[in-house]
Structure formats: C-alpha cells, structure tokens
Chain A
C-alpha cells in the first residue's frame, strides 16, 4: 500500500512537468501581455517593467527560469498584484476556498447520497420524483442564477443572511456560498447514487440477503449501499479538486477572497506567473484526489487490490 502510494506520487512528477510545459507555452500564444492596457504605457516604461520581470528575455530562457524556481518551490511574483507573490496570494486565498469547498463537498455528499437512496427505495413514487426534479433543477440552474436568488431571498427579503462578503469567515457569511457551491453536486451525487442503488438492490447478493431474512436496515446500509457508493466515490475525486480550489462565479458574486477568481482574472490580465500557479495548483489537487479516491476504493470494494 505504501509502495503503491509512493509509486503514484512519483509518476505524478512527469505528469506535472507535461502540464506545466504545455501551459507555459500555450499561455504565451495569447496576444498581448501583462502590461498592455487602455492607457498604453510609454515604451521606455514598458521596457523597464519587462526587464524587472525578465519578460524581455527569450522564451526558452524564461521557461527554464520558471522550471528552476518551481523546482525550488517558488511560484514567482504576481505581475498584476505586485505587492504579493503568487504563493502569498494562495496562502491567503486557498484556506478560504478550501473551507468553503470542504463544507460544500460534505453537504453534497451526505445530502446527495441520502436523497439518492431515498429515490432508489421509493422508485417511481412521489419521493423519487421529488428527488429527480431536484436533481434536474440542481444540475441545470447555473450558479450565477442561484447565487443572486439566495442573496435576494435570504438576504434582502428574510434578512437571515448577509448579502456578500467574507467577514473573516463568519458562519452566516459562509451559508450562501456553501449552498450555492453544493447544490449542483447534491444533484449529481443524488443521481449517481439513485442509479447505482437501484442496480444494487436488484443484484443477486441482495436477493440472497433478503432470503436469509436480514433486516432492511442491514441490507440497505451494509450490503447495497457499500457497492452502490463506488460511482459516487469516483466522482467525488474530481468534485473535491474542483470545489476545494474555488469557483470564480461564487467568489465574484459573494465577494470572497478565495483563489477561484485567479483562474479567470489571471488569464484575462495575462498575469503569467499567477496563471501558471493556478494551473499547478489544480493539477496537484486533481492528482492528489484521484489518488485518495483510488485508496478509498480499496476499503469499499474488496475486489480492488494494490500491487
């Protein structure tokens, strides 16, 4: 098991290298640079800025600089937010995104699987239709519609929640963003769980369990759910990577200091180092959570063995 994890972590290095290399050169294909703006800079000043950030040197040299810095754990300075390094921006933003993302993931997993099981047990009955309706709505209504609706209803009408802002992570300030973030995932988890649960309930070992006179509770929780969780777990990996690294829509509408906005802002601003930083961040999270998912597999499904 330890050997397996180590081997997976080692193979992650070439993957990361390919991701970094491709993004570095692809990013430079976009016209313009960090210092093009409505009020054009004087050529002398632009040249000074480019010299300070080594942008005047040949691209391959810049690439080697970047790789070298990255190997030393240095993500570089942000061009557009010069008071901060990329690492500092992540240090401030990542805990915010992760806190929200983790709560949203937890909510989505529990509520989603619960609803999925209910749907499967009451297949083609009112409760099932309610679950399907919610699942369809949750995955089709975009977050940029849900977020303002939450703001208007819970903030302006009922006055239960603040409209926006982080306020150093105060509980009420997290409710709206977590609800918005989790809703689409609740829907997906519920759908996945419902489907695999229906299948599991029809399988032979469940029939055997029923014939042996086991209690309903034991059949559902110990035997059916365990197998039915597999698709949910495999989707939870990428879902976690996505949720924990923030969402540009939710962070913009709820005005949160997370890292999700940097994905878009940095690209629009051609803030090269920040773009690279976010790419590395997402890649690392994705690799890590896929690994975690594979490990969890082993615990749930006895057929999976690590060699």
Chain B
C-alpha cells in the first residue's frame, strides 16, 4: 500500500514537473518610459510606439539587432540605375497572422493610406520621396496617383521623385510598414484593437491597456518564427523612473529604456554593467533668432558658444548621460564625416579667452551688459542646463533671463515663428542619415525656428538630394554642415545618449545609435 502510494505520488510529481517545464514560457517584461498613443503604424510618432510596432510588423526592409539593414517582408530588391525605381520581391512564405498571404497589394494600400489626408498621418513625410506623395498629402491629388504599383502578388514597384540614397533606411520607419487591407476593411478604425489586429511581424497583439501594458505574444506564422525565442513580451509603462528602478531591482522589469540620470553613480555601484549608456543619434541644441539684432551676428553666436563649458553640462548637469556636442550631426552615421566647429578640440580655458576677446570687440562687458532671453520647455534638466549657461555667461557681461513654458506652448510659439533671442530644442534621428539633422537649417523648413537662410547651404543640400553616388552625397552634406557650423544659427550643446537598464539575464539587447532593440533577437536566461 505504502509503495503504491509513493509510486503514485512520485509519478504525479514527475508529471507535474515535466508539464510545468513544457509550459515554462519565456516572458520578457520590458519597461517603457511612456505609454504608446496608438498601435496603428500609420498614426504613430513616439519612440515607445515604434518599439512595439517593430515587434508586431515587418516592413519591406527591417533593422537587425545592431540597427543595420536586413530584408524584412521583401526578401530582395533591385534599384534602377538612376536610383529612382525600386522593385521589391516579397517573400513567398510571408503571411499575416491569420494565415492570409502578405501581398504587394497590401503595401500599395498601406502607402496610399499613409499619405491620404483622411488618415492624417503625422509621419506622412517619411515616404514623401515617393512620386506623387507630397501632392496627395496636400490634398492636390488622389491617393491612386502615387508611385507604388503591384506588378504581381509578390512584386512591388516604387517610383521616387528623385534618387534618395537613404530610401531603404526610411522604409524601416513604422509609417512605411504594410498592414493587411482585408483586416482594415473588415474592422474599420477598430482594426488596431487586440483580437482584431493581424500583423506580419515576430509577435501579435494580445492586450493593450492604456497606462498599464501592451502584451504581445509570439507569432507562429512569422517567416522566421523558428529563431524567435521569446514567447511573450510585456511592454510595461513605467513613467516614474524611480519606481521603475525599484521594479527592476525586485525583478518585475527585465529592462527599462530610461533611468533617473541623477542616480547614475549609485545605480552603477548597485547594478554594474546592467546600467547602459551609449551614443544615440540625437542633438540637444539652442537656436538663435538669425534675423534679429544682435543675434544675427555669427561672431556673437560663436563667442557665446565658446563661453559655454559643454563638459560641465555633460558631467555635472546631466551626470554623463549626455555627451558634449560640437556638430549638428552626431557621430555614428556610417560613411559620414561630421563637420565640427573649429574650436571643438580646444581647451575650455582657451575657448573662454577667445570668447572674452570677441565680446570685448563686440563691446559687451559686465559694465555694458547684453540682455538675452532664453526660452525652454518644462523639464528639470532643461532648467538646470539653462541656469548653468546663465551662470557661465554672466562673467562676460550677459544678463540672461530664463523663460520657461510647457512643451506645447514652447513648440507652438517656435512653430509660429514667434520672437525670441535664444531657444532650446532637440532632435532625434528618425532614420540613420545626416540629412534629417541638416534639413533643420534649410530656408523655410518648418523646424527652422530661428529662420536661418543661406543660399549656399540650401544649394549644397539640394545638390546632395539629387546626388546618386552615396560617397559624393555624404561629402556634399558634410560641406553643408561645415557652413552651418561656420554660421552657427543653431548651437549644438550635447548629444543624446541611450540610457537604459538591462538585466544580465537578457541576451541580444545590443547598444546602437538608433536605440533599436527588436524583441525577435532577444532572449532571456
């Protein structure tokens, strides 16, 4: 009797153990410092959304773990000699998560949807290089006139206005992802809801509770499902960074894409290599109102720039979570040489001496001070930066007043080309290309808040835009940046960094300048 009981117990225990082993799912709890606003790839704009949508969908071309290009929904492509016509071959095994095939027609539908004014996609400009796109967004032409064509089920032809060497990079943006036409037709605006949405990426949407989490589960129908290791990824909103650190310590989060930089030293001591800081393609800069006296004088702008100790800003204000910047385009774009200001390598003391000389020439001194108003949007770090700069300029004879408004007010003021002396702004690259930064100085560009205008600069950008040879194009862009740094209508202060916290159990989370970490390459021990 006893033996029988023991046998039964042991057998059931073994059975339970094997069952639980079989059921052990690999779950990645991924903290995100903000909530996604939308999961419709064509209606999104934030980094948080991009991260999730990248896991759900697979564009024609995608990024690998190092943010380098690799084939996605298209297995191959050819580019015409003039660089204007791209022909994509979609993969034969590409299916939506409901089993229906991913076709060229779905992509035609999707591209038209993005530029359709009725969609009001914020990032419609990503695919603006496609022929006709701009006019459609402006309501001047029908979406059907766009330069995208389904040659057959698996062949997609895209015609561009002009050769755009970074077009493949653009296609990695979620605005250029394909969605299932049948799915959108069936559910209308509700197609994005869990249960309705079909997708063609490594994961499918299981749950979206605002301010809580987005749960995505492995898509067994994904063309590369065999190499996807995670079963579930929970994107957990963790806006309170201090609370996120505690959740990380308690094991509730496996990673978080932000941490309180003011705690960097303690966090490093406690968590070691799990604290990660690496360069990002983003620039933190101040804008001068270029057409307004006295800021219209490049000499004055350079003198101010020289007087600002960027090492201090990076180390003391930002606790090394930012890097000193002397160029508009951050380093890290393959094939591009950044053009820095000529004092980038000088010692700060020498720079300050030069600044003093220039200010004397300009007649600015503590006895004859110059008033300067500095506008910035609400954030402790922006304020601390502005206060530090206020202090740095004071001994040279500057009376800096700080004007702090909330983000919406700040940017609407800048967009309406409101009057200011100096204003804070930041720019993170949507795609890995210098043009995304340099366009900020183009005459009439929406984000050219300081209204800088230089024909030589504009001409170089145009020449670069129509240059088919990538190396020559990069050289043209670099010369354009040299002009920008010579005139200094915008004053780069710092480069942004990725600062995330990643558990040592997480593998395949590779640092890169785009801060892109697709879950399909990640596993958990």
Chain A residues at the B interface, C-beta cutoff of 8 Å: 30-45, 48-49, 51-52, 80-84, 89, 92-93, 148, 151-152, 155-156, 159, 162-166, 251-258, 261, 268-270
Contacts and interface: CB of A to CB of B under 8 A. Distances in A.
B372 to A, nearest CB: 22
A233 to B, nearest CB: 33
A198 B415 CA distance: 62
A49 B120 CA distance: 5
B121 A45 contact: yes
Given A38-B425, A253-B240, 13 more contacts: A35-B122, A36-B412, A37-B408, A45-B121, A45-B124, A45-B137, A48-B118, A51-B117, A89-B210, A148-B242, A155-B246, A164-B240, A165-B213
B252 A37 contact: no
B406 interface: yes
Contact of B243 (A89, A93, A254, A270): A254
Given A38-B425, A155-B250, A83 B211 contact: no
Nearest to B237: A255
A164 B408 contact: no
B176 to A, nearest CB: 16
A270 B410 CA distance: 13
B448 to A, nearest CB: 10
B408 A252 contact: no
Contacts of B426: 38
Contacts of A252: 239-240, 243
Interface string B234-257: 001111101100110110100000
Most B C-beta atoms less than 10 A away, residue of A35, A164, A256: A164
A66 to B, nearest CB: 20
B209 interface: yes
A45 B411 contact: no
Interface in B2-52: 37-40, 43, 45
A92 B425 contact: no
Contacts of A257: 209-212
B138 A44 contact: yes
Contacts of B39: 83
A49 B211 contact: no
B136 to A, nearest CB: 10
Given A52-B118, A152-B246, A255-B243, A40 B236 contact: no
Given A36-B415, A84-B210, A252-B239, A42 B446 contact: yes
B38 A33 contact: no
B295 interface: no
B210 A268 contact: no
A257 B249 CA distance: 22
Given A45-B125, A163-B247, A257-B210, A31 B236 contact: no
Contact of B210 (A41, A51, A52, A93): A93
Most A C-beta atoms less than 10 A away, residue of B243, B407, B415, B447: B243
A80 B137 CA distance: 21
A41 B117 CA distance: 14
Nearest to A270: B408
A160 to B, nearest CB: 11
B316 to A, nearest CB: 24
A78 to B, nearest CB: 9
Q: Closest 7 interchain pairs by CB?
A: A32-B408, A257-B212, A32-B412, A36-B412, A48-B120, A49-B120, A48-B117
Contacts of B243: 148, 151, 163-164, 252-255
B211 A258 contact: yes
Nearest to A251: B211
B412 A81 contact: no
* Interface residue SS majority, chain A: loop
B408 A92 contact: no
A93 B120 contact: no
B111 to A, nearest CB: 16
Contacts of B486: none
Nearest to A49: B120
13 contacts: A31-B405, A37-B408, A39-B427, A41-B122, A42-B125, A48-B120, A52-B120, A82-B40, A83-B39, A92-B210, A156-B249, A163-B250, A255-B243
Contacts of B425: 38
A269 B409 CA distance: 10
Contacts of A49: 120, 122
A51 B120 contact: yes
A45 B45 CA distance: 13
Interface residues of B, number: 54
Contacts of B247: 163-165, 255
B343 interface: no
Most B C-beta atoms less than 10 A away, residue of A36, A255, A270: A255
B221 to A, nearest CB: 24
B408 A41 contact: no
B166 interface: no
B413 A31 contact: yes
B149 interface: no
A265 to B, nearest CB: 9
Given A52-B118, A81-B37, A41 B208 contact: no
A212 to B, nearest CB: 57
Contacts of A40: 411, 414-415, 446-447, 449
Contacts of A80: 37
B407 A37 contact: yes
Contacts of A32: 406-413
Contacts of A255: 211-212, 236-240, 243, 247
A34 to B, nearest CB: 8
Given A37-B45, A45-B121, A45-B124, A162 B210 contact: no
Interface in B38-75: 38-40, 43, 45
B208 A83 contact: yes
B48 to A, nearest CB: 12
B383 interface: no
B153 to A, nearest CB: 30
Contacts of A43: 446
Nearest to B116: A48
Nearest to A41: B122
B193 interface: yes
A44 B134 CA distance: 9
B476 interface: no
Given A32-B409, A93-B211, A270-B408, A41 B252 contact: no
Contact of A39 (B137, B242, B447): B447
Contacts of B411: 32, 36-38, 40
A255 B193 CA distance: 22
Contacts of B249: 156
A83 B45 contact: no
A163 B252 CA distance: 8
B192 interface: yes
Contact of A163 (B193, B246, B446): B246
A89 B411 CA distance: 27
Given A36-B412, A93-B210, A81 B246 contact: no
Interface in B426-455: 426-427, 446-447, 449
Contacts of A89: 210
Nearest to A261: B211
Contact of B407 (A38, A44, A148): A38
